[in-house]
Amino acid sequence: MSKPKLVFISPVFLFPNDAGGKIRSTNILRGLKGGAFHVTLLSACTPEQARRWNKEIGGVCDEFIPWQPAPARPMWRRAFDLLGELPVNVANDRTRPGMDAVRQLAQRPDIDLMVFDFVHTAVLRPDRLRSRSTCFTHNVEAEIFARHAKQARGPFKRWLWTSQHAKMERYEGNVLRGFDSVIAVSERDARFFTEAYQVASSHAIPTGVDLDFFSYQEPPAVDAAAPPTVVFTGSMDWAANIDGMQFFLGQVWPKVLAARPEARFVIVGRNPPASLQALARTTSNVEFTGFVDDVRTYVHAAHAFVIPLLVGGGTRIKAFEAMAMGCPVVSTAIGIEGLDAERDVHYLERDDPASMADAVLELLADKALRDGLAQRARKLVEERFGHEKAARVFEEICLRTLEQPPDSKAA
């Protein structure tokens, strides 16, 4: 008996896995392959990318269909997008090659379910579909814009984020109601979609971690060979990470250095902006790595992993990756939001600069505290948050979505 056919649509090429959304989607696809569905991955991809990442592509799908990425939109065009009806980041994903590729595949009579990865990808969806459809949401996108508006300094930035929030709230609610089901990354987000947007079928999956890849190591001792080291990982061209690093470098790290002048802070992630590097030069012992092939070396060498985010949505998979690797986590409430872990048992939660600096200093000074947090956090992710478990829940939701005969829905 043939398997039902699932198409997973990503507006970006998933490799390398250098952002949280890519990591989560790749883990879900890896878990789906060989299961209940025949999986087709449809995404933007250049011929060079297809050649370089051929093995990895084969590990996440049964069939891969690429479309040629559209050229980057010039800055003047993106400025005009601010005046349009769509949120600017959604408008950026609305490309003719992407729309044509989705439309052509949607016309195939053998497709049973189309999964749109991120709510932005719904902008590629045809007006009518033959198959059932699901949106895999990694965040409440409108909430991110609202938080940026709250943090914005100056009337122009506040207007800009407030305007984008209103557009995203309208777009997000409209498109999510048009899907047969919505898959969220936390129970909190799933409830929001039901209550705020009246989404009829909203479900949550756990945040999953590859426990074999992110293997556990006991936190290192602090000594001459391993000076006290704090680490952050994340794409440094993402606004929420830039905002968090401005907060940490400007208000937290100087307090850490005042007590431990030999401490080091390592920021692991692609494309750190010049403004952030300039801020780092006003303090000491800060290193930007830029893009790295493997974050594990940096995390295993650190004594504390910080997530000082003031803006964000969904869940931060980096928190569970750090926990899996045995690096104790210090986070703001937003940084750990949506993750089912217990404060002061599996991680330290601190929101103001002084208390976050104190928590980092505690970890640098107290081996028993580091070891206890690390061991309890690893046990938590082992028991509940392996990526295979997340993929099985995802698969079950997709199968339930197929229980009703397909009908056509407006995008």
Q: Which tens digit of pLDDT belongs to each residue from 129-164?
A: 999 999 999 989 999 889 888 888 889 889 999 999
Which one-letter amino acid corresponds to residue 215? S
Average pLDDT for 218-226: 88
Q: Are residues 192 and 243 in the same domain?
A: no
Per-residue model confidence as pLDDT tens digits over 335-364: 998 788 999 999 999 999 999 999 999 999
**Angle at which helices 155-177 and 187-197 cross, to 10°:** 80
Q: Which long-range contacts (CB under 8 A, 24 or more apart) does 198-206 make?
A: 198/173, 201/401, 203/397, 205/28, 205/390, 205/393, 205/394, 205/397, 206/340, 206/384, 206/385, 206/389, 206/390, 206/393
CB atoms within 10 A of CB 368: 7
State whether residue 153 is helix, strand or coil: coil
Please check whether residue 186 lies inside any domain of the structure: yes
Give the percent of the chain with pLDDT over 90. Answer: 75
Q: Are residues 284 and 393 in the same domain?
A: no
Distance CA 173, CA 208 (A): 26
Q: Are residues 394 and 369 in the same domain?
A: no
How confident is residue 313, by pLDDT bands cut at 50, 70 and 90? Answer: low
Q: Are residues 149 and 202 in the same domain?
A: yes
Helix and strand numbers (H, E) in the chain are 18, 13
Q: Are residues 243 and 373 in the same domain?
A: yes
pLDDT greater than 80 at residue 193 = yes
Average pLDDT for 13-32: 91
State whether residue 345 is helix, strand or coil: coil
Q: Are residues 157 and 290 in the same domain?
A: no
State whether residue 110 is helix, strand or coil: coil
Farthest-apart Cα atoms in the chain, separation: 67
Please check whether residue 288 lies inside any domain of the structure: yes
Please check whether residue 219 lies inside any domain of the structure: no
Please check whether residue 235 lies inside any domain of the structure: yes
Please check whether residue 408 lies inside any domain of the structure: no
Please say whether the beta carbons of 20 and 318 come within 8 A. yes
Token duo for residue 117: 């990865």
State whether residue 65 is helix, strand or coil: strand
Please check whether residue 213 lies inside any domain of the structure: no
pLDDT greater than 90 at residue 196 = yes
Terminal Cα distance for the chain, rounded: 32
- The boundaries of the domain holding residue 239 are 229-384
Give me the number of domains the chain comprises: 2
Please say whether the beta carbons of 272 and 300 come within 8 A. no
Confidence (pTM):
0.77
Q: Are residues 196 and 295 in the same domain?
A: no
Q: Are residues 236 and 348 in the same domain?
A: yes
Average pLDDT for 304-319: 85
How confident is residue 405, by pLDDT bands cut at 50, 70 and 90? Answer: low
Please check whether residue 220 lies inside any domain of the structure: no
Residue pointed to by tokens 């990354």: 185
CB-based contacts of 142, cutoff 8 Å, min separation 6: 165, 168, 169, 172
Q: Are residues 262 and 322 in the same domain?
A: yes
Point out the least confidently predicted range of 75-84, 155-164, 258-267, 395-404. Answer: 75-84
Distance CA 58, CA 50 (A): 10
pLDDT greater than 50 at residue 278 = yes
CB-based contacts of 409, cutoff 8 Å, min separation 6: 128, 129, 133, 178, 179, 180
CA distances from 341 to 211, 241, 324, 344 (A): 17, 22, 13, 9
Distance CA 171, CA 3 (A): 34
Distance CA 132, CA 6 (A): 10
Q: Are residues 115 and 186 in the same domain?
A: yes
Distance CA 246, CA 252 (A): 10
- The pLDDT of residue 229: 97
Distance CA 202, CA 236 (A): 31
CATH code for the domain in which residue 41 is found: 3.40.50.2000
CB-based contacts of 131, cutoff 8 Å, min separation 6: 7, 106, 111, 112, 113, 114, 406
Q: Are residues 187 and 248 in the same domain?
A: no
pLDDT greater than 60 at residue 186 = yes
Please check whether residue 201 lies inside any domain of the structure: yes
pLDDT greater than 70 at residue 408 = no
Q: Are residues 38 and 69 in the same domain?
A: yes
